[in-house]
Amino acid sequence: MKKHVLLLLIFILIVPKVGFGQVEKYKSVFTLNFIRYIGWPEDAKTGDFVIGVLRHDKIAELLASQSSGKKFGHQNVVIKSFKSVDDVSNCQVLYVSSSINFSRHAETLLSKIGKTALVVTESEGATKHGAVINFVVRDQTLKFEIDNANAQKYGLSISSKLSEMTAAIQK
């Protein structure tokens, strides 16, 4: 409990200003912490907890180092790096780089990842095409949009604690 309160305080007090080299670090930390604030259906709680990263080596590297040897519940956290849309496979979380045109590939990606996946993107307008959480920069500050309707489509529920963070933008 203390750990979650500390993480919440960090999110609230330190809303990162966009700076060179730091953005990826914040995005990876946020992404790992998002999973704690999601209500996952039972089928997502079996096997390894897989976080897939599509075409963003730095985020994949940071996620791997930050989650090394860690578990989510009873599941081992595994980071998979995908080089192309065709490589994507079933995972609980899919992080999609801005180098991918999410709106053009959304249907294909959503069909490949499973019914109960959290889709995290970094492209303007991505929530209109199925992303649940989308990183954006507003007034030189890193924020994230949350689309509760998309979360519900995937059988996910988002904790009000995540929605109430200062970096959160409700859709």
The full length of the chain comes to: 171
- Confidence band, pLDDT 50/70/90 cuts, at residue 16: very low
The pLDDT score that the predictor gives to residue 13 is 43
The pLDDT score that the predictor gives to residue 19 is 53
Domain count, the chain: 1
Rounded to an integer, the average pLDDT of 44-65 is 96
Residue-wise pLDDT tens digits, 128-166: 999 999 999 988 899 999 999 999 999 999 999 998 887
How much is the pTM?
A: 0.87
CATH number at residue 114: 3.40.50
Q: List Cα–Cα distances, 154 to 43, 52, 97, in angstroms.
A: 12, 16, 20
The pLDDT score that the predictor gives to residue 3 is 52
Residue-wise pLDDT tens digits, 76-97: 999 999 999 999 999 999 999 9
* Structural domain range at position 137: 2-170
Q: What is the DSSP string of 109-125?
A: HHHHS-TT-EEEE-STT
